[in-house]
Amino acid sequence: MKTLSVVQSDLRGRRVFLRVDFNVPLAGEEITDDTRIREALPTLEHCRREGAGVVLASHLGRPAGRRDPRWSLKPVVFRLEELLGRPVALAPDCVGPTCEALAGSLRPGECLMLENLRFHKQEETNDPTFAGTLARLAHCYVNDAFSVCHRAHASVSAITRFLQPAAAGLLMQHELLTLSRLLDRPKRPVVLILGGARMSDKLGLIRSLLSRVDRLLIGGAMAFTFLKALGHKIGQSLVEDDLVPTAKQILADAEKRGIDVLLPEDLMMVVYPEQPGPPKRCQIDQMPIAMSGVDIGLTTLTRFRERLQGASTVIWNGPVGMCERPAFANGTVEVAKMVADVTGLTVAAGGDTAAAVRRAGVADRITYVSTAGAAFLEALEGRELPGVAALTPVS
Give me the residue spans of the domains in the chain: 6-171, 178-380
Residue ranges of the alpha helices (H) in the chain? 35-49, 74-84, 97-104, 121-124, 128-135, 170-183, 203-209, 223-229, 244-257, 298-308, 330-341, 351-359, 374-380, 386-389
51, HSE (Cβ side, Cα atoms, 13 Å)? 6
Q: Comparing 6-171 with 178-380, is the CATH topology the same?
A: yes
**pLDDT for 49:** 97
Residues facing residue 16 across a β-bridge = 54, 140
Confidence check: pLDDT of 341 > 90: yes
Quick check: pTM over 0.85? Answer: yes
- CA distances (Å), 28 to each of 24, 32, 62, 74, 140, in order? 12, 10, 15, 12, 35
Range among 52-66, 281-295, 371-385 with highest mean pLDDT value: 52-66
pLDDT in tens, 11-70: 999 999 999 999 999 999 999 989 899 999 999 999 999 999 999 999 999 999 999 999
**pLDDT for 273:** 84
Cis peptide before 276 (omega within 30 of 0): no
Query: 34: closest CA among 358, 378, 377, 388?
Result: 358
Fold of the domain spanning 6-171? Rossmann fold (3.40.50)
In the chain, the N- to C-terminal Cα span, in Å, equals 9
Give backbone dihedrals phi and psi of 281, rounded to 5 degrees, phi first.
-85, 140
Say if domain 178-380 classifies as CATH 3.40.50.1260.
Answer: yes
**pLDDT for 276:** 67
User: What confidence tier does 278 reach under pLDDT thresholds 50, 70, 90?
Assistant: confident
Using CA atoms, how far apart are residues 309 and 138, in angstroms rounded to an integer?
Answer: 51
User: What confidence tier does 350 reach under pLDDT thresholds 50, 70, 90?
Assistant: confident
Using CA atoms, how far apart are residues 72 and 68, in angstroms rounded to an integer?
Answer: 7
Give yes or no for a contact between 88 and 113, defined as CB atoms under 8 angstroms apart: yes
User: What confidence tier does 374 reach under pLDDT thresholds 50, 70, 90?
Assistant: confident
DSSP code of residue 163: S
**pLDDT for 334:** 96
Using CA atoms, how far apart are residues 162 and 248, in angstroms rounded to an integer?
Answer: 49
pLDDT in tens, 213-242: 999 999 999 999 999 999 999 999 989 999
Using CA atoms, how far apart are residues 279 and 102, in angstroms rounded to an integer?
Answer: 57
- Kind of pairing, strands 26-27 and 30-31? antiparallel
How many helices, marked H, and strands, marked E, lie in the chain?
14, 17
**pLDDT for 1:** 63
Give yes or no for a contact between 298 and 320, defined as CB atoms under 8 angstroms apart: no
Residues facing residue 314 across a β-bridge = 191, 346
Residue type (1 letter), 143: N
**pLDDT for 14:** 97
User: What confidence tier does 303 reach under pLDDT thresholds 50, 70, 90?
Assistant: very high
**pLDDT for 146:** 94
pLDDT in tens, 114-152: 999 999 999 999 999 999 999 999 999 999 999 999 999
Of 184-198, 210-224, 266-280, 320-334, the range with the lowest mean pLDDT is: 266-280
Query: 95: closest CA among 34, 136, 54?
Result: 136
User: What confidence tier does 324 reach under pLDDT thresholds 50, 70, 90?
Assistant: confident
Q: CB 346: neighbour CB atoms within 10 A?
A: 25
